[in-house]
Structure 1
Amino acid sequence: MVAMYQPYATYATYTRRQIPLGVLEPADDRPSLAS
């Protein structure tokens, strides 16, 4: 699980720095992910 967690955490951190949190979790666009 560590092998899956490390790259995911790095990608999530990089993504959050590039785009705002509101864009990462578009409740209006994708309610499925929001739920």
Structure 2
Amino acid sequence: NHKNIFNDARVPWSEYRYYEPKTVGLDFEGMIADIK
């Protein structure tokens, strides 16, 4: 839903990792790597 709102408003966005299914928690290292 948020993707559509940003697209309609022509606001650039990107995806990044944040969820680690193995631990059912935060993928901190992946998230930081993607943000950089």
**Quick check: which one's strand share is greater?**
2
Larger Rg: 2
TM-score by length of 1: 0.29
**Quick check: which one's helix share is greater?**
1
Q: Highest relative contact order (Cα 8 Å, sep 6+), 1 or 2? A: 2
